[in-house]
Chain A
Amino acid sequence: ETGVTQSPTHLIKTRGQQVTLRCSSQSGHNTVSWYQQALGQGPQFIFQYYREEENGRGNFPPRFSGLQFPNYSSELNVNALELDDSALYLCASIESGTNPSEQYFGPGTRLTVT
């Protein structure tokens, strides 16, 4: 396994609500990225954090925000949920000083918005 864990595994929310998803990566992995994977599609980059600062963002609105903590854990927060936010949310960590292509993905959180 990758050593990256995510919680919760599944989550059901109502449109307009807010949600917080959590990720825990390995010691020494100080870069974490979050991806959204819609059913039948490839993951789409949301944003990346390095040493607790946002370090790049994909084409997602500001209601998608994140935090990274010194203990190699991170959060993805989504406000004002929309039906189209239903997806698998993946976090991926990168070990410091290694190949940036080799990212360690967690199993994901399946979010359903009704």
Chain B
Amino acid sequence: GESVGLHLPTLSVQEGDNSIINCAYSNSASDYFIWYKQESGKGPQFIIDIRSNMDKRQGQRVTVLLNKTVKHLSLQIAATQPGDSAVYFCAESRNYKLSFGAGTTVTVRA
């Protein structure tokens, strides 16, 4: 079945440092693996995705890595800023359906 989970429920990061958020998945049939960010009182916001046939993709200050051998997905945020404080969800996409994990709460310390 489908299962997307995160390794740690919380992550505290010093402002300016790099953040790494990890996720394990079990469904190898997904088309895309995705990261969403959810701030308090808002719906999830798309950050970046990666096709299942890729292993790395970079965006603005973010990099997503996909390791299909161990079914592991990670999100790296460079130079973490206070505005990066939020809950981060990994998700998988198949036929337009998103399956989300439980989320990691990232807190940025000044």
Residue numbers of A with Cβ under 8 A of B are: 2, 4, 31, 33, 35, 40-45, 48, 55-56, 58, 90, 92, 94, 99-108
Contacts and interface: CB of A to CB of B under 8 A. Distances in A.
B89 A42 contact: yes
Given A101-B93, A101-B98, A105-B43, 7 more contacts: A35-B98, A40-B103, A43-B89, A56-B95, A99-B49, A102-B46, A105-B44
Contacts of B103: 40-42
A102 B49 contact: yes
B91 interface: yes
Contacts of B100: 42-44
Contacts of B65: none
B32 A56 contact: no
B96 A48 contact: yes
B43 A108 contact: yes
A88 B91 CA distance: 18
B61 interface: no
Nearest to A42: B100
A27 to B, nearest CB: 19
A107 to B, nearest CB: 5
B44 A43 contact: yes
Given A90-B44, A92-B43, A107-B41, A101 B49 contact: yes
Contact of B46 (A33, A90, A101): A101
A100 B96 contact: yes
A33 B96 contact: yes
